[in-house]
Amino acid sequence: MNDMPSIQRRAADLVFEHLQERIVSGELAPGDRLDPTEIAASLGVSRTPVREALLQLDSAGLVQRLPYRGVVVAELDVRLAEEVAALRIHLETLAVRIAVPRLLDEDLAAMREAHERLGAALAGDHTQRDFNELNRRFHMALYRRAESPVLLREIESLAGQAERIRMHFDLRHGPAEQHHAIILDACERRDTEAVAVATLDHILTAHRLMMGAEYVMQPDSALAAVLAAAGVTDLSGTAP
């Protein structure tokens, strides 16, 4: 059996992880050009896995191809990030209000298990991949109890977009573990309002961290409208 395709795939994954780390750490800044030949030489690999890694980075929104410049590190699309955060807050807090009164012990056990594994994932070698899997497992264990296929489908679609946006951010510096603990505690107490507030704060805080210190939310944005409807008048990013 020819193992060459699997070896090349593994090499492409390693190149992807290496470049992603350099992007989220700020070593590679928006607009910096990524030369496949230079990358291949510096990592001691052929150009094939580098090209595949750049395609993965392009799909994740971390790089873009520009005429006459080639592949460059992409800017974060602020308007898209705001829209995704707004829709997530609106739909996920709705799911919370339906699901929490229906929670079963098995749902809480699934959330607890995902939460307990999150710390190791954040300290591991495949942070992004493992975090995304456990994060989805944690939240969907709750939202599925809403028993609304249409609502869940929209939440899962937005989760995929949120994961691509998170590719720009070093998850090891985020508050997800602490936020999940607060959400889980409120779920165990069956405190629907506390879970809704914690969920809003979880999404909003992560959004603001990813946007950076200079980020200013526009008062006429979809996100500002959703926050106003939830009773959040301080656009600096804290839940009521």
pLDDT value, residue 1 = 45
How far apart CA 78 and CA 12 sit, in angstroms, is: 28
How far apart CA 96 and CA 140 sit, in angstroms, is: 10
Backbone angles phi, psi at 75, to 5 degrees: -75, 150
pLDDT value, residue 213 = 81
Distance of CA 191 to the CA centre of its chain: 26
How far apart CA 61 and CA 167 sit, in angstroms, is: 8
By three-state DSSP, how is residue 35 classified? coil
Per-residue pLDDT of 182-239, as tens digits, reads 999 999 999 999 999 999 999 999 999 888 888 889 888 999 999 999 988 776 644 4
Per-residue pLDDT of 69-80, as tens digits, reads 899 988 888 888
pLDDT value, residue 167 = 76
How far apart CA 40 and CA 50 sit, in angstroms, is: 6
| Average pLDDT for 125-140 | 84
**Percent above pLDDT 70 for the chain:** 92
- Report DSSP state, residue 86: H
pLDDT band, residue 126 (cuts 50/70/90): low
Task: Tell me: pLDDT of 86 over 70.
Answer: yes
On the CB side of 48, CA atoms within 13 Å amount to: 9
CA distances (Å), 76 to each of 40, 98, 171, in order?
26, 33, 16
How far apart CA 115 and CA 121 sit, in angstroms, is: 10
Per-residue pLDDT of 153-190, as tens digits, reads 999 999 888 887 877 777 777 788 999 999 999 999 99
